[in-house]
Amino acid sequence: MRIAFIGDIVGRPGRKIVRDKLKEFKKEFNIDYVIANSENASHGFGLTLKNCDELLKAGIDLFTGGNHSFDKRADVKALFETQKVLRPDNYPSGVAGNGVKIVEIGGEKLAVVNLMGMYAMPHVENPFNWATTLTEKLHQEGISNIFIDFHAEATSEKRVMMMMFKNKVSAICGTHTHVGTDDLQVVEGTFYVSDIGLTGCRDNVIGMDEAMPIFRATTGLGGHFKVPNACKTIFQFVVLEFKEGKTVEAFKVKAYCNKQEVIVTKALFD
């Protein structure tokens, strides 16, 4: 099976470049299934039903989330009921929704898992212990193709996840920081990248207008971040091919709104 994973889609600019380019890329790279982190897709904070439908029509099959999964409270219950939207699975017991989806692609099962880190995040259960129990359960059920979106602030937490679960899951993709990293690697059959990077505005601060981040950085006072109405955009995603639970091919694609060139970076197989 061949899947794609899109990094944090941020606001209208992110949705637009996905609409403009995703179907073309699905054909070009022979992608069977598309997963995207959508926790910033609506105005930069959360996901609405309207924007969920827009992105489904653009070619995305399943959405993961993170610390902003519950920002659009009016739509949260309905979003989870669609079975197309996940939130981090390690939220405390009793929280609406779930973070695991098992799908069948070309006769093979794939488990998509959404987890969230602990540093500078809302209160969640320990993701490492949670992942240990969860992967053991999936293996007992005969599911070897396991993809993890690990939504975390700290790179160290993401590396710990990699060290713990290499050779146990197919891929671990970091999200949340919005800054793409180049540390793509495949170790013992497990793909890893610290952060996919955002899909949206690239000429400001993590997809947001720079005025408020600058004000916050120079004064220590808070305020509302806003997604610009006009900007230069980037579309970032990885393409992963799984076979019997292992990643056998992996590369990252970066496309820009104002350039014809598409940059493809292959993962290092260690």
Token look-up 């099959």 returns 61
The catalytically annotated residue of 43, 68, 151, 178 is 68
Determine the distance from the C-alpha atom of residue 255 to the mean position of all C-alpha atoms in its chain, rounded to a whole number. Answer: 17
Distance (Å, rounded) from C-alpha 15 to C-alpha 253?
17
DSSP H or E stretch at residue 19: helix 11-28
Q: Are 53 and 139 in contact (CB under 8 A)?
A: no
Report the sign of the C-alpha dihedral through residues 138, 139, 140, 143, in that order: positive
How is residue 167 written in tokens?
């050779």
Name the phi and psi angles at 149, rounded to 5.
-95, 110
In one-letter notation, the amino acid at residue 182 is: D
> How many other C-beta atoms lie within 10 A of the C-beta of residue 129?
11
- Integer CA distances (angstroms), 258 to 18, 21, 104, 105, in order: 14, 12, 36, 34
Angular region, 75: left φ>0, alpha ψ -120 to 50, beta rest: alpha
Angular region, 244: left φ>0, alpha ψ -120 to 50, beta rest: left
Q: Say whether 139 is catalytic.
A: no
Q: Are 85 and 47 in contact (CB under 8 A)?
A: yes
Catalytic residues: 68
